[in-house]
Structures are given as C-alpha cells and as structure tokens.
Amino acid sequence: MGDVRLHEVKKELKQLLESIKYNPDARLKSREVYYKKYDKTSSEEGYGYGNSELAFLKWELDRVLRIDDGQEVKSEWWSEINLRFIYLSELGAKAKERGIVKSELPIPSQFWYEFIENPNETSWYKAHNSSIINAYLRHVDLAKKESSFEQIFINIVLYRLLFAQAMVEGKGFAFGRLGKIFANPNGGAVNLITQMEDFYPANYPMIQEEINDLLGKSHCLSALGMKLLDDVIIEPEFFQLYQDASKWNKEPQLVSLLVENKPAYPDGVPKSEGEKKWLVKFLLRIRNFFGK
C-alpha cells in the first residue's frame, strides 16, 4: 500500500514541477503556500522558517529564473537545482499527510517530514541544506556547463549555507552561541544579506564589476567585507565544516566536493577565488598566530 501511495505522490509532484518550470512566480507562490500550510511558526506577517528561503528565492527569480521572450531558461543548473529542492520538500510534506512511512523517502524528504513535525532552526537547516546538497550532486553535468566564474560562485553559495548551518549547530568556529542567533532562518539576517548589492551578483551572466567582487579585486568596502567572511572566517574551517555537514545532512558524498582543502564542485578541480588582498593575508596570520 505504501508503495502505491508513494508512486501516486511522485506522479502528482512531477505534474507540479512541469506546471511551474517556466513560471517563476508560480514557483514562489508554491513555496509561500508550503510554509503557510506546513510551518507552525508562520503567521499573517511572515512565513516562519521559510523567510530565509523565500528571500533567497526572490533573488534567484530576479537573477536567473525570470526569462526574456524566446528564452526557456537562463541557466539550466539554477533552474533544476530549485526544482529538485521543491520536489524533495513537497515529497516529505505529502508523505506525512498521507501516512507514508518516513523511511521510504530520500533522506532530504525525511528531514522535511521531521521539520513539519518539529519546526526549529536545526530541523530546518537539515531539511534545507540536505536538499540543496542532493540537488548539487544530482546535477553535476549541468554545473559543468556554467562559466568558470559561475562555478566559483555556486561553491561560495554552498559553503556559506554550510557555515550558516554550523552557526545554528552552535559550533565554536562559527561564533558559538552568537551564531545560533544570527543564523536563525526565522530572523531577518538572510533577508538583509540577500539585499546587499555585493553579497550576491544581480546579473546572469555576471558583469565585470561583479566578477571583480567575486575575485576580491574590488575596492568596495561591502565586497571586501564579504571576502573577509569567506577567506578569514570560513575558509580555514573548510575541512571540519564539510566533515560536520556531511554528518548533519547524512550525505557522505559532500566531502568529495572539497579537494586539497578547496571547494571543487562540479569537476573535482579546486576553485580559486583569486589572489588574497594584503588585509586578508594579515588577518589570516593574526588568526593563525592566536590559534583561532
């Protein structure tokens, strides 16, 4: 009986994905409906733990998912990552609704099932990040079609998500107790960050100014601040971060995306974000001197 119900749910979700694939606003609406329905912390004013996801999705819509006349998609990779994410979360919710045994689901859908049962920062990050990791691993071939700069960027997106999860997990290298507060997806930090001009590029493909920000060649203070976060705070913890995140999200393959202690998605080649500025090098030396 469980197999029949699961097959029916998967068939329904296939139809859902087909209906929203070329309709960015429908994707957004589906996620708004999801959190209003399944997140007990949502309210008339907001979407509970979905606030962070929706803030990022609105950026995705403007940058890569909204298309011009005659286009199907700007980026197959970004489009399919988002669709896979929606599928896994909806699968967990529908399975819970219909009494399907949780163990029959993919790990990310099991985490969504658990989030609906007990919505909190930790359960949300496990559901969210395991779904993103699953989508990354599923669409390696599409990622290889992206430009070298875009490949650097999608690695940055991933390790920032993992670091945010480490903050919620209360890891010492991720600001400890303070990190748990700052990275709460029910707060306003992510919404604020996605609106900062230099945190994420606004154009696809990136314009030269955004490439300079990405590679640390910009003289903009906010872009420098992002490089300090990535290079001084997160990068020295890459090994431990990917190891821990593989356990939190029950995805051993995640550690394969780090080669020679550098992010190496999608082709196993370590990705360089450019030469570090003197200030970054100086702060790294101070960090190493004082033993973190």
Token pair, residue 233, equals: 């705070």
Measure Cα distances from 218 to 150, 192, 199, 211, 215 in Å: 17, 21, 13, 9, 8
Q: Is the pLDDT of residue 292 over 60?
A: no
For the stretch 125-183, pLDDT in tens is 999 999 999 999 999 999 999 999 999 999 999 999 999 999 999 999 888 888 888 88
Whether the full predicted model's pTM is greater than 0.85, yes or no, is: yes
CA distance 276 to 68: 37
Give the number of residues written for the chain.
Answer: 292
3-state secondary structure of 258: strand
Alpha-carbon distances of 20 from 15, 66, 86, 97, rounded to whole Å: 9, 12, 10, 22
Burial, 288: exposed, middle or buried (Cβ in 10 Å; 0-12, 13-18, 19+)?
Answer: exposed
CB 233 within 8 A of CB 226: no
Looking up tokens 């071939």 gives 141
pLDDT attached to residue 190: 61
Helix (H/G/I), strand (E/B), else coil: 107: helix
Mean pLDDT of 107-116: 98
Residue 288 has pLDDT above 60, yes or no: yes
Q: Per-residue pLDDT tens for 218-244?
A: 777 777 778 888 988 999 999 999 999
Whether 287 shows a pLDDT value over 70: the answer reads no
Q: How many percent of the chain have pLDDT more than 90? A: 70
pLDDT for the residue 193: 66
Q: Where are the domains of the chain?
A: 2-289
